[in-house]
Structure 1
Amino acid sequence: MRGAVLLLPLLAAVLLPAAAAAGGGNGSCVRSCGGMTLPYPFGFSSDCTIRLGCDVGAGVVFVGGTRELGLVVRNFTPRALILKLQPNCSRLFNASVAALFSDSYAPASRNALVVSSCAEAAQISNCSSSPERFLDRNSSHCTDESIRCIVPPTNSTRGHHFLNKSEVLRSNCTGLVSAVSYSDAGGPSLLLGALELDWWVPGPCRCDARANCTQFPATRTRPEAFQCECPEGLEGDGFVEGTGCREGQYFAAQWYYCISLFSFSIFSESSSAS
């Protein structure tokens, strides 16, 4: 895991020039913490569009108001935050679910939540991949808890879909043990101990004129929102308030992708095609 420990310092080294060039709408947003600097729209203060937490001593970025939940950000991509969920039966379920859903991010329907001590509910099932494959009951504070999975609905392939917060809470579980995320990048794979949070920026599209804008229509629980992405051949984050899109070094435009592949290599386990 030494390579994983080096990931965030590498991320900071790549992002420092881009963050300095960004400026714009979140001028008072604090994007640096210790040796870590985050790209727009992320930051560590209340003025940031998407606020995350920072533990300087541990050198980690986390989701939620407290580090104790163990919702550690392992990776950033143009579409998602990749969290590392170290298996832990003592991770409080309700507090964790509250931290995973916000006005700017939510668990994608590509995830299954590994949970413990739940009431019977329609979306609760036995995990298709045995938790024992990555769950050490000694180090994870698990004893004789019943380990199950909250799986996404079968109709979650239409449009932009996320796990439903109300349905997840209705399962009335005690612990959020871990998660399993499905990825088809580079071939089908299961990311064990990982959870993908799709993120967005609230409001109508505010993308660079040359960027592609993906819109998320407003729902009962989420306002209108959007994502920006520069087309191939241009670098930047695509946001008017970020670095926009411009011609430049190809490497800079691909930092998300490279770091994503590095991070995925830690967790990926190829699954057989159905």
Structure 2
Amino acid sequence: MGDENNLQQAAESTENLITWLYEQGSFVPFGKIVGEEKFSIVSDYLGTPSHAYDDKGGLVWERELDVYGSLRKGDNSFVPFLYQGQYVDVETGLAYNRFRYYDPQIGNFISQDPIGLQGGTRLYGYVSDPNGWIDILGLMARSIPTRKGHHIVPHAAATNLNISPFNSEFGVPSYYFKPDQVDPHGRMHGDGGMRTRYPLTMKQINKQNLTPEKWLGMLETHYNNPSIQDIRGDLRIVDRPGKPGILLAENVSPAQAWNKAKEWADAQRHVH
């Protein structure tokens, strides 16, 4: 059984029912219940399970993976979750990643990106940096926005388009999500078929012949989309080498964060 994309219960028979508990709004398991037995699961900063303990605090399972998710120590049988969003088939060693299967032996998916070259030239690629990125659906890599947050204006495109003062990875406004929200980062990028989804890469921007003004207009339209106004976060300046800095606005919606970022940009232009 599952709740949306999360596997909640698995059983070979009613006598061997397993219930999985997840951190709210994520794919990170924190508990396992088998009959009267209860286990706590500890995961790393990416949401990858590494240890499990019984209700008395005794270690019952531990696992160590290499950078691709292949086993270095332990097994996947007690907790069959690999990287966040992936469920391991113990018999084949492949990890079910919602829309594709991932092979930890080679560090790639075994089928092509459904959108082909629009997703880049690495058709079978997982993520560019597995130390800081995940792909919970097998469709689009996401960084874990804890240190640098979610840049209100994507800095790579802003740099290529020379949109000052947002044309930098540091010293610009970034949105740091409040905890216990359902995929706020994906929704901020327009995942889930939102009509206001905006292009992220220069290839996508050039394909649509967008000027900097039109692209910024698309960002504004998306951040004002009513369907994401339940998201909350703090707007801060990203300090070097990538950590939350000066607070610009606390506990604000995407629309409020966007407006505050524009105010900040206007102030920067007057200073310079």
TM-score, L = length of structure 2: 0.26
Task: Mark the structure with the bigger radius of gyration.
Answer: 2
TM-score, L = length of structure 1: 0.26
Q: Higher relative contact order at CA 8 Å, sep ≥6: structure 1 or structure 2? A: 1
